[in-house]
Amino acid sequence: MSQMYAEKGHCEGCPRRSQCFRFGKYRRVGKNVVMEELQGKVDENLGCEEGKGLCRQRSIQVEGAFGILKQDRGMTRFRRRGLKGVKMEFLLNCLGLNLYKYHLFWLKQRANNLMGKLN
């Protein structure tokens, strides 16, 4: 739910008054009450120690995956147009990254099994 109101006193002496003050109407400004309430809850949750720890942990995990996609895989730009094409390309890149991770995991498990059999 948003509240709308017109600013009347803030435009006096402004160099951009002609851009805002068109057709004899004052600039309308909105205030989203629900969003401000939700942002307050987010600030409260991130302010505690547990929230800070979760935020730190999430940023470490997510940055690694995007770093691999951008730096190692060279995915700096999308080659498709439109939301469907971009989504498909991104999901294919993510699928490829997951298959690569699984392949490395499988190789590691296989090497451990072979070392166990030799000993």
Check pLDDT > 60 for residue 7: no
pLDDT tens, position by position, 79-103: 899 999 999 999 999 999 999 999 9
Say what the pLDDT of residue 90 is.
Answer: 92
User: Which residue has 């940055």 as its token pair?
Assistant: 63
pLDDT tens, position by position, 53-74: 888 887 777 777 888 888 888 8
pTM over 0.75: no
37 closest CA partner among 3, 8, 66, 6:
3
Strands (E), the chain: 2-6, 28-32
Output 11 or 82, whichever has higher pLDDT.
Answer: 82
Give the domain ranges of the chain: 2-36, 48-75, 78-119
The DSSP secondary-structure symbol of 32 reads: E
